[in-house]
Amino acid sequence: MDVKKENFSEWFTEVIKKAELADLRTGMKGFIVNLPWAVQIMKRMYALYEEELERRGHKPAWFPSLIPEELFTKEKKHVEGFTPEVFWVTGAGSEMFKERYALRPTSETIIYHMYSQWIRGRSDLPLKIYQSCQVWRCDTSATRPFLRGREFYWIEAHDAFATEEEARAQVREDMEMTETIMHQEFGIPFIFFQRPEWDKFPGAVHTYAADTTNPDGKISQQPSTHLLGENFARVFDIKFLDSDGKEKYVWQTCYGPAIWRIFASVISIHGDDKGLVLPPKIAPIQTIIIPIYKKENEQQIKEKCLHLKDMLRKAGIRADVDFSENTPGYKYNEWELRGVPTRIEIGEKELKGPTFTVCRRDTGKRQNIEEVKSVSELMLLFEDIKKNLIKRADEYFAKQFHTANSVEELEKTIKLGGFTRIPFCSNGFDGQHCAEELKERVSGNIRGTIYGSKEVPEDENCIVCGKPAKVYVYIGRQY
Amino acid sequence: MDVKKENFSEWFTEVIKKAELADLRTGMKGFIVNLPWAVQIMKRMYALYEEELERRGHKPAWFPSLIPEELFTKEKKHVEGFTPEVFWVTGAGSEMFKERYALRPTSETIIYHMYSQWIRGRSDLPLKIYQSCQVWRCDTSATRPFLRGREFYWIEAHDAFATEEEARAQVREDMEMTETIMHQEFGIPFIFFQRPEWDKFPGAVHTYAADTTNPDGKISQQPSTHLLGENFARVFDIKFLDSDGKEKYVWQTCYGPAIWRIFASVISIHGDDKGLVLPPKIAPIQTIIIPIYKKENEQQIKEKCLHLKDMLRKAGIRADVDFSENTPGYKYNEWELRGVPTRIEIGEKELKGPTFTVCRRDTGKRQNIEEVKSVSELMLLFEDIKKNLIKRADEYFAKQFHTANSVEELEKTIKLGGFTRIPFCSNGFDGQHCAEELKERVSGNIRGTIYGSKEVPEDENCIVCGKPAKVYVYIGRQY
């Protein structure tokens, strides 16, 4: 049975446990221990994302984890959106503070408080800064490792510009980064939506978000970008003296790749019934070498393994040898479970050379490679594995799109999972009522209109209220 | 005037401001913004330390930032030591929790709660895990960026062993790591002390700590290692079934390289009146290229700069060109202030080749290098700069040691800064009274006995109580 497809939720829980990715037994709901194998993967994911952000002009900074209540509550919609989930620090030692501190659920307020002190003239713009950090939200719904928790790990990039045009260009750049890293490196396909008005980030003009789907067809929100306009600038007084001699508010955007959630998608989308399947670039071990020996050749084979490991490592390949007492079969399972992209078995035959057998985790296929070419052959293999993972994921994702022209049709398609396109009255606030009705009838959430799409309904009506449809929106069940 | 020596405190504040390392205007005492240049340096410091920890068998994990009060207060001495400084999270949204959470001031309690669930048999040992994270302590004394704050950045490594012997060997390994990274990479000299009984980490059997000195002669505590013995294991019930069939408590150690504080020492020890001086391995930019042009050769020179930058980058050297509108002299100052290890000036002469002039930040000396050899020559130069920084720091540090045989003598030597060796009654609790008297009379803190030292006083008396001296301890003024 294909457990992952049949019972995704159980599969996900099992894989996290067996591959030792997280331990939930902290005694605190929604707070988990991120175990070494998971952290080693996520550190690489962070590094790749950070490199891309820096390549596009962002610089790293570390802002405080605590935010004074006065600052935190400055932007009205923002505070309304986040306050119900904020953890409050009310004192230290035996002393109570006069003013509480919010444990940051997101960092706009403290960061923009600084921006108002840093930005003076045009030469201070654009200002593009990111921080890799945790945020805390007291989510009262069911929590799951990497998907939903009270402490989660992300990157937040906060950019300020002189003009609206530049801010809008940043939204496109954020989408490009999502493509370059999340899709092309981690193999997670996505589609970028403009969220409906009623589902925006609190304080934003527009929210654009990448959605992907899990094998159970449920939608997982991935990095989102918010066009903040001048909203926060007006509240935090972030102004610059423009070249025309006038003081103007900056235009802002923020972008939030949640490494935790992307990792959840890496587990879910690439994994199979044997466990994780990791893209080579983020695998802590890229090649595991398994010695297969009898007493008489044990020494020679172990030496051969070590020699191979050293040679691969010198070439920059993350190789390791499993010298544990377990049987080769046990070891195969173990490393397959952890998603190691390639396995090399070294036995009597390999002692003589001149070839090795390499087994790919993604396809299970074996192939011979010449020992003298092992570095270059493995490098090619890694590239091929990555491409294959992307291809498989893309093919799966392409099947996640349906259309419906009535609520009855939608009732059927929404059960298939993924996204159903429907003609809809409005992506603006006037569509909220219909959205709520749909939520009740089909348990689906409107994801919004496709970003940059030119598709517009002609002579179609909203499937809920029957008024002329102004937009096509996509709807599906989410995490 | 040598400002750094004459008025170190002012110099430190200025350099942090001018080199844009930190911004204190967050509105919260002890909470600062770590600015991009500082973060880029500290990220490299973290990476080097993490690599060394992993090389020695540690694995990374991320534990929760919050700790339930019940867990936090399990170990009596530990809680007594930390409770006065703990930030408390008492609720979320508008709800108050039944039980408070401590915002971790250090992570022993939550980590050992997990260890008690993970450790069962000998094969689970040794268990060596680290996390790179922030901790929060509501320090009521004066705070200073990177030296003392309410949110600070460190690494904590927590190790569990089957035997006392292995735990003691880990203390030596921790000292070796301090030598390999803090001294040999970052150029910070140190001496490892066994702290007196009254100055141990709360809950430890022994505390061993690396001390270094700043240019004002004040002592800065650097990474410390704590031999926890079975103390926490008994409280948190961390037992394993030994090969002799008996259940035993594990022996534990913890090691805490505070990247923040080490960075403070990097600034203080290597810096000069022109600003920062960075060891090349942790410098965000290793070579800054300055174009010097007139109108007629501007295009050519800019191209030459870009070409050189690309060539250096391809070879793995972090090079950049300063194309800003400022004058060359202004640029020199700017990059010297930020501590960039080498500067290359490209003008009319360099267009013709075949040599460049390279200027070293550490010595200010200029030297010619052949263009075709620039990569290898720069690499050698980086190595030489590192060695020179270590040498200078070591020479300075060697002068920080004095001896005194009476309180009167000590009164003089302590003003010289650094460490004064004195014959002392005891490093145990029975020496505490004399330590307190000394603290009052000379404002100095006893740092303890030198770790592993065999020096023992013969026929000497404690300079305070006059009883026979059992140990030589070192005393000095600290941050």
In the predicted structure, residue B1 carries a pLDDT above the cut 60: no
Write out residues 142-201 of B within 8 Å (CB-CB) of A.
Answer: 151, 153
Chain A hits for B104, CB-CB cut-off 8 Å, are none
pLDDT score for B75? 83
How far is the C-alpha of A316 from the C-alpha of A375, rounded, in Å? 9
Q: Dihedrals φ, ψ of A218, to 5°?
A: -80, 150
From the list A83, A92, A151, the residue facing B87 with the nearest CB is A92
Number of CB atoms found within 10 A of residue A173's CB:
18
Q: Are strands B95-103 and B445-450 parallel, antiparallel or unpaired?
A: unpaired
Q: Using the structure block, give the residue that is written with the tokens 């527009």.
A: A206
pLDDT score for A14? 96
Chain A hits for B65, CB-CB cut-off 8 Å, are 65, 134, 136, 151
pLDDT score for A77? 81
pLDDT score for A175? 96
Q: Is A64 in contact with B28 (Cβ distance < 8 A)?
A: yes
Topology of the domain covering A285-381? Rossmann fold (3.40.50)
pLDDT score for B141? 86
Residues forming beta bridges with residue B19, ordered by sequence position: none
CATH architecture entry for B287-381: 3-Layer(aba) Sandwich (3.40)
From the list B90, B92, B113, the residue facing A86 with the nearest CB is B92
The DSSP annotation for A10-56 comes to HHHHHHHHHTT-EE-TTSSTT--EE-HHHHHHHHHHHHHHHHHHHHT
pLDDT score for A142? 85
In the predicted structure, residue B3 carries a pLDDT above the cut 90: no
B40 touches chain A (CB under 8 A): yes
| List of residues 6+ apart from B116 with CB closer than 8 A | B236, B237, B238, B239
Number of CB atoms found within 10 A of residue B407's CB:
15
| List of residues 6+ apart from A239 with CB closer than 8 A | A116, A119, A233, A247, A248, A249, A250
- Cβ(A223)–Cβ(A199) below 8 Å: no
Segment B56-64 shows an average pLDDT of 98
pLDDT score for A82? 82
Among chain B residues, CA nearest to A57:
B36
> Min CA distance, A37 vs chain B (Å)?
8
Segment B57-74 shows an average pLDDT of 96
Q: Between A112 and B82, name the one with better pLDDT.
A: A112
> Min CA distance, A89 vs chain B (Å)?
4
User: What average pLDDT does the structure give for chain B?
Assistant: 95
How far is the C-alpha of A4 from the C-alpha of A217, rounded, in Å? 12
- Cβ(A215)–Cβ(A206) below 8 Å: no
Quick one: which H or E segment has residue B340?
A: none
Distances in whole angstroms, Cα of residue B65 to Cα of each of A256, A329, B85, B93, B104: 21, 39, 15, 18, 6
B396 touches chain A (CB under 8 A): no
The answer to whether the peptide bond before residue B279 is cis (omega within 30 degrees of 0) is no
Q: Which residues of chain A have pLDDT under 70?
A: 1
Q: Is A93 in contact with B86 (Cβ distance < 8 A)?
A: yes
- Cβ(B210)–Cβ(B221) below 8 Å: yes
List, in sequence order, the alpha helices (H) in B119-230: 164-177
B43 touches chain A (CB under 8 A): yes
Q: Using the structure block, give the residue that is written with the tokens 């929604």.
A: A30
Q: Is A93 in contact with B138 (Cβ distance < 8 A)?
A: yes
How far is the C-alpha of B402 from the C-alpha of B248, rounded, in Å? 45
**ipTM at complex level:** 0.96
CATH architecture entry for A3-270: 2-Layer Sandwich (3.30)
Q: Is B60 in contact with A39 (Cβ distance < 8 A)?
A: yes
Number of CB atoms found within 10 A of residue A381's CB:
20
Rg of chain A over Cα atoms, rounded to whole angstroms, equals 25
From the list B27, B64, B68, the residue facing A68 with the nearest CB is B27
> Min CA distance, B476 vs chain A (Å)?
29
Residues forming beta bridges with residue A129, ordered by sequence position: A59, A158
From the list B66, B84, B117, the residue facing A25 with the nearest CB is B117
> Min CA distance, B20 vs chain A (Å)?
11
In the predicted structure, residue B315 carries a pLDDT above the cut 70: yes
Chain B hits for A28, CB-CB cut-off 8 Å, are 64, 66, 68, 101
Confidence band for B358, pLDDT divided at 50, 70 and 90 = very high
Buried-state track A289-313, b at ≥16 Cβ within 10 A, e below 16: bbbbbeeeeeeebeebbeebbeebe
pLDDT score for B172? 96
Q: Is B90 in contact with A94 (Cβ distance < 8 A)?
A: no
Among chain B residues, CA nearest to A139:
B92
Write out residues 56-115 of A within 8 Å (CB-CB) of B.
Answer: 59-66, 68, 71, 83-94, 101, 103, 110, 113-114
pLDDT score for B436? 96
Segment B50-78 shows an average pLDDT of 94
Quick one: which H or E segment has residue B140?
A: none
pLDDT score for B285? 98
How far is the C-alpha of A431 from the C-alpha of A438, rounded, in Å? 11
Segment B51-56 shows an average pLDDT of 97
Structure token pair of residue A72: 């935190």
Residues forming beta bridges with residue A256, ordered by sequence position: A224
Q: Between A339 and B203, name the one with better pLDDT.
A: A339
The answer to whether the peptide bond before residue A64 is cis (omega within 30 degrees of 0) is no
pLDDT score for B344? 97
The domain segmentation of chain A, as residue ranges, is: 3-270, 285-381, 401-476
Degrees to nearest 5, angle at CA A334 with A331 and A339: 125
Q: What is the pLDDT of residues B299-308, one digit of tens each?
A: 999 999 999 9
Q: Is A26 in contact with B64 (Cβ distance < 8 A)?
A: yes
pLDDT score for A1? 55
Residues forming beta bridges with residue B344, ordered by sequence position: B289, B358
pLDDT score for B91? 95
- Cβ(B219)–Cβ(B213) below 8 Å: yes
Confidence band for B83, pLDDT divided at 50, 70 and 90 = confident
Please give the span between the terminal C-alpha atoms of chain B, in angstroms, as a whole number: 25
Q: Are strands A342-346 and A239-241 parallel, antiparallel or unpaired?
A: unpaired
Domain A401-476: give its CATH code.
3.30.110.30
Q: What are the strands, taking DSSP E only, across A142-271?
A: 151-161, 191-194, 206-213, 219-229, 239-241, 247-249, 251-256
Q: What is the pLDDT of residues B437-477, one digit of tens each?
A: 999 999 999 999 999 898 999 999 999 999 999 999 999 99
**Which residue type occupies B187?**
G
Among chain A residues, CA nearest to B58:
A36
Chain B hits for A118, CB-CB cut-off 8 Å, are 23
Using alpha carbons, select from A31, A445, A437 the residue that is nearest to residue A260: A31
Chain A hits for B138, CB-CB cut-off 8 Å, are 92-93
Confidence band for B242, pLDDT divided at 50, 70 and 90 = very high
Q: Is A66 in contact with B25 (Cβ distance < 8 A)?
A: no
How far is the C-alpha of B47 from the C-alpha of B39, rounded, in Å? 12
Residue among B17, B28, B99, B143 with most chain A CBs within 10 A, to mutate: B28
How far is the C-alpha of B103 from the C-alpha of B433, rounded, in Å? 34
pLDDT score for B353? 80
How far is the C-alpha of B102 from the C-alpha of B90, rounded, in Å? 9
- Cβ(A31)–Cβ(A239) below 8 Å: no
List, in sequence order, the alpha helices (H) in B56-92: 69-72, 76-82
From the list B40, B43, B93, the residue facing A84 with the nearest CB is B93
B243 touches chain A (CB under 8 A): no
Write out residues 202-241 of A within 8 Å (CB-CB) of B.
Answer: none
Q: What are the strands, taking DSSP E only, across A258-406?
A: 287-291, 319-321, 342-346, 355-360, 366-370, 401-403
